[in-house]
Amino acid sequence: MQALDTTHHQDVRELQAILGLAEGLQFEFLVDCGVHVSIIPFYVIQQMRLEHAIRPTSRLVKFGSGEVQCPIGSISMNLMLSDELHVTHRYLVMKN
């Protein structure tokens, strides 16, 4: 697997994208170093058939527009971002 290096782009307003594996399936991850939480849409969890792994959460998410949403729950997933970098990361699961 080869990671994408998007750091050479001149427009720094764009999010950085990397390829990685989540629970063995390949995804493109958007990286925003300014956020305090990672989110994943529920339909992705459904595609991965991981609904059973969602845990309750009491957190709320306030988006840049000011909209506040209550997540469905949270989930921990095993990620492989390169052959040398394997991590377990927690996401808040949001409605589609």
Can you give the pLDDT at residue 29? 77
**Does residue 9 fall inside a structural domain?**
no
Q: Which residue has the higher pLDDT, 47 or 4?
A: 47
CATH of the domain at 69: 2.40.70.10
**Does residue 10 fall inside a structural domain?**
no
**For residue 3, is pLDDT > 50?**
no
Residue 31 contacts residue 7 (beta carbons within 8 Å) = no
Q: Which residue has the higher pLDDT, 92 or 9?
A: 92
**Does residue 35 fall inside a structural domain?**
yes
- Domain count of the chain? 1
Best-predicted range by mean pLDDT (12-21, 49-58, 61-70, 74-83) = 49-58
Average pLDDT on 62-88 reads: 87
Distance, CA of 55 to CA of 84 (rounded, Å): 29
**Does residue 1 fall inside a structural domain?**
no
Beta strands per DSSP E along 13-94 = 16-22, 25-31, 39-41, 61-62, 68-69, 73-80, 86-94
Instruction: Using pLDDT thresholds of 50, 70 and 90, give the confidence band for residue 51.
Output: very high
**Does residue 5 fall inside a structural domain?**
no
**Does residue 8 fall inside a structural domain?**
no
Instruction: Residue 31: give the domain boundaries.
Output: 16-94
